[in-house]
Amino acid sequence: MTRPQNFLTLLLLMVAVSIAAEEVQVKVIALFANKALLQVGDQQKIVAKGETFEGVLLQSASGHGAVVVVDGETLEIGLNQSIGSNYKKRERSRMTIAPDAHGMYFVDGTINGVNTGFLVDTGATHVTISGTKARALNIDFRKGVRGQAQTAAAVVPVWKIRLDSVSIGTIKLRNVTALVIEGKQPADVLLGNSFLKRTDMQKAGSMLEITQLH
């Protein structure tokens, strides 16, 4: 579905904001072999070695303490010790998108740094691009994994690829799976679940709020 020109004014309601950074503490509640019960702010979780929780990476854990990485800094924390005086919880980007007159959510963004428009589509498994649009975006999709898809008119070739980056406003995700369908359809780039599942998406009345998780 092509975006009607008279609905462009609605897109001016779209905003990109950052959730305010809040000072939080990181505390080791319990220690296990290669695991630790961490508390970050008011959130607690048993975190395995190499896992990230609320922006804190657990590098190692033993009976003596835990080694964590916070904002690129490696720190040692003993049992029931905490850090936090200089640690601020990582900011997360958020967008609020207004629907058009048909209840569809269109948003402007980029693919691999090239400007494009998207139609938010929770029914699409992947970010989905027509072959015509992919060529306009300088995407060499024929190097991807080829397959076939049934359309209303015929069986058409498709390619599964990975995009270096996909962004909407201040939300930017890297290494996003996409599907390119030979031909001119879909008319709009579909912002599917290979992008959306890496965000938190909520409805606030008629508005759609998308928040970057990491």
pLDDT on residue 214? 61
**DSSP code string of 15-45:** EEEEPPP-B--EEEEEEETTEEEEEETTEEE
Listed as ranges, residues in the chain with pLDDT below 70 are: 1-24, 71-72, 84-92, 214
Task: Assess whether 71 and 105 both reside in one domain.
Answer: no
| In a domain? residue 19 | no
Task: Assess whether 60 and 102 both reside in one domain.
Answer: no
Task: Assess whether 182 and 77 both reside in one domain.
Answer: no
pLDDT on residue 65? 84
**Domain boundary residue among 83, 109, 127?**
83
| In a domain? residue 20 | no
pLDDT on residue 40? 84
Residue 148 burial (CB count, 10 A) = 9
Domain limits at 50? Answer: 26-83
Task: Assess whether 97 and 76 both reside in one domain.
Answer: no
